[in-house]
Chain A
Amino acid sequence: MYQIKKRRVLGLLAGAAVLLGATTASRAETLNVVVAYYSAATQGVFEGMAKDFMEKNPGNEVKIEVIQWDNLQQRLTTDIAGGTTPDIAMIGTRWLVDYVKNDIAEPMELTPEFKAGFIEAFLSPSTFDGKLYGLPVAASARAMYYNKDLLAKAGVNEPPKNWDGVVDTARKIKALGSDAYGFALQGKEIETDAYWYYSLWTHGGELLTDGKSGVSSPAAVKALTLYKSMIDEGLTEPDPTGLNRQDIERLFKQGRIGMILTGPWLRGQIKEEAPTLNYAIAPIPEGEAKATYGVTDTLMVFKSSSKKELAMKFLTETAFSPKWRIEFSTKEGFLPVMKEEAAAPIFADDPQLRAFTDMLPYARFAPLITNWEQMVDVVIAALQKVYIGQAEPEPALKDAAAQIDGLIQD
Chain B
Amino acid sequence: MTRANTRPSDGIGRAAPYLLVLPSILFAFWIIGYPIYDMANMSLHAVNRFGKTGAFNDFANYSRLFSHKLFLDCLLRTLVWTVCVVGGTVLLSVPIALILNERFYGRTLARIIIMLPWAVSLTMTGIVWRWSFNGQFGMVNATLSSFGLQDTPVEWLATATTAFPILIAIGILVSIPFTVTVILGGLSSLQADIFEAAKIDGASGWQRFRHLTLPLIRPFLNIVLVLNFIYVFNSFPIIWVMTQGDPANSTDILVTWLYKLAFRYGELGVASALSIVMFLILLALTIVYAVLAMRNERRQA
Query: Taking beta carbons and an 8 Å cutoff, which residues of A are in contact with B?
Result: 73-74, 77-78, 80-81, 98, 102, 104, 187-189, 237-243, 247, 250-251, 371, 373-374, 377, 380-382, 384-385, 387-388, 390, 403
**What are the residues of chain B within 8 A of A104 when measuring CB–CB?**
50
Is the CB–CB distance between A242 and B48 below 8 Å?
no
A192 to B100, CA, bound (A): 47
Is the CB–CB distance between A241 and B265 below 8 Å?
no
| CB pairs A–B below 8 angstroms (22 shown) | A73-B263, A77-B50, A78-B51, A102-B48, A102-B49, A187-B247, A188-B244, A189-B246, A239-B135, A239-B154, A240-B158, A241-B246, A243-B135, A243-B155, A373-B265, A374-B264, A377-B260, A377-B264, A377-B265, A382-B248, A384-B246, A388-B248
Is the CB–CB distance between B50 and A388 below 8 Å?
no
B134 within 8 A of A: yes
Residue of B at shortest CB range from A189?
A: B244
Interface residues of chain B: helix, strand, loop or mixed (majority): loop
Known contacts A237-B136, A247-B136, A98 near B158 by CB under 8 Å:
no
Instruction: State the Cβ distance, A274 to closest chain B Cβ, in Å.
Output: 14
Residue of A at shortest CB range from B152?
A: A238
Is the CB–CB distance between A74 and B263 below 8 Å?
yes
Is the CB–CB distance between A81 and B52 below 8 Å?
yes
Is the CB–CB distance between A77 and B135 below 8 Å?
no
Is the CB–CB distance between B155 and A77 below 8 Å?
no
Instruction: State the Cβ distance, B256 to closest chain A Cβ, in Å.
Output: 12
**What are the residues of chain B within 8 A of A243 when measuring CB–CB?**
135-136, 155, 158
Instruction: State the Cβ distance, B99 to closest chain A Cβ, in Å.
Output: 37
Is the CB–CB distance between B49 and A241 below 8 Å?
no
Q: A188-B158, A243-B158, A377-B265 are in contact. List 12 more A-B contacts (CB 8 A).
A: A73-B264, A77-B49, A77-B263, A189-B244, A238-B155, A239-B158, A240-B158, A241-B247, A242-B155, A384-B248, A387-B247, A390-B248
B164 within 8 A of A: no
B159 within 8 A of A: yes
A373 to B265, CA, bound (A): 6
**What are the residues of chain B within 8 A of A250 when measuring CB–CB?**
136-137
Partner of B51, one of A77, A240, A242, A247: A77
B229 within 8 A of A: no
A380 to B265, CA, bound (A): 14
Is the CB–CB distance between A77 and B266 below 8 Å?
yes
B window 213-266: CB within 8 A of A = 244, 246-249, 260, 263-266
Instruction: State the Cβ distance, B60 to closest chain A Cβ, in Å.
Output: 11
Instruction: State the Cβ distance, B122 to closest chain A Cβ, in Å.
Output: 16
B window 33-65: CB within 8 A of A = 48-52
B156 within 8 A of A: yes
Is the CB–CB distance between B265 and A374 below 8 Å?
yes
Interface centre among B152, B159, B260 (most CB of A within 10 A): B159
Is the CB–CB distance between B51 and A188 below 8 Å?
no
A374 to B249, CA, bound (A): 13
Partner of B49, one of A98, A247, A382: A98
B153 within 8 A of A: yes
A191 to B209, CA, bound (A): 55
B168 within 8 A of A: no
Query: Taking beta carbons and an 8 Å cutoff, which residues of B are in contact with A?
Result: 48-52, 69, 134-137, 152-159, 244, 246-249, 260, 263-267
Known contacts A74-B263, A250-B137, A188 near B49 by CB under 8 Å:
no
A238 to B141, CA, bound (A): 14
A344 to B254, CA, bound (A): 51
**What are the residues of chain A within 8 A of B48 when measuring CB–CB?**
102
**What are the residues of chain A within 8 A of B50 when measuring CB–CB?**
77, 80-81, 98, 102, 104
A283 to B137, CA, bound (A): 29
**What are the residues of chain A within 8 A of B264 when measuring CB–CB?**
73, 373-374, 377
Is the CB–CB distance between A373 and B266 below 8 Å?
yes
**What are the residues of chain B within 8 A of A74 when measuring CB–CB?**
263
Residue of B at shortest CB range from A256?
A: B136
A238 to B264, CA, bound (A): 29
A385 to B248, CA, bound (A): 6
**What are the residues of chain B within 8 A of A240 when measuring CB–CB?**
158
Instruction: State the Cβ distance, B2 to closest chain A Cβ, in Å.
Output: 41
Is the CB–CB distance between B247 and A98 below 8 Å?
no
Residue of B at shortest CB range from A80?
A: B50
Residue of B at shortest CB range from A104?
A: B50
5 interchain residue pairs of minimum CB distance: A242-B155, A81-B51, A242-B158, A239-B155, A384-B247
Instruction: State the Cβ distance, B146 to closest chain A Cβ, in Å.
Output: 15
A390 to B267, CA, bound (A): 28
**What are the residues of chain A within 8 A of B136 when measuring CB–CB?**
237, 243, 247, 250-251
Instruction: State the Cβ distance, B58 to closest chain A Cβ, in Å.
Output: 16
**What are the residues of chain B within 8 A of A187 when measuring CB–CB?**
158, 247
Known contacts A250-B137, A384-B248, A241 near B159 by CB under 8 Å:
yes
**What are the residues of chain A within 8 A of B249 when measuring CB–CB?**
381
Residue of B at shortest CB range from A73?
A: B263
Partner of B134, one of A81, A247, A382: A247
**What are the residues of chain B within 8 A of A78 when measuring CB–CB?**
51
A371 to B246, CA, bound (A): 20
Partner of A241, one of B154, B158, B267: B158
**What are the residues of chain A within 8 A of B265 when measuring CB–CB?**
371, 373-374, 377
Interface centre among B134, B135, B137, B246 (most CB of A within 10 A): B246
A73 to B261, CA, bound (A): 13
**What are the residues of chain A within 8 A of B247 when measuring CB–CB?**
187-188, 241, 381, 384-385, 387-388
Residue of A at shortest CB range from B243?
A: A188
A80 to B50, CA, bound (A): 6
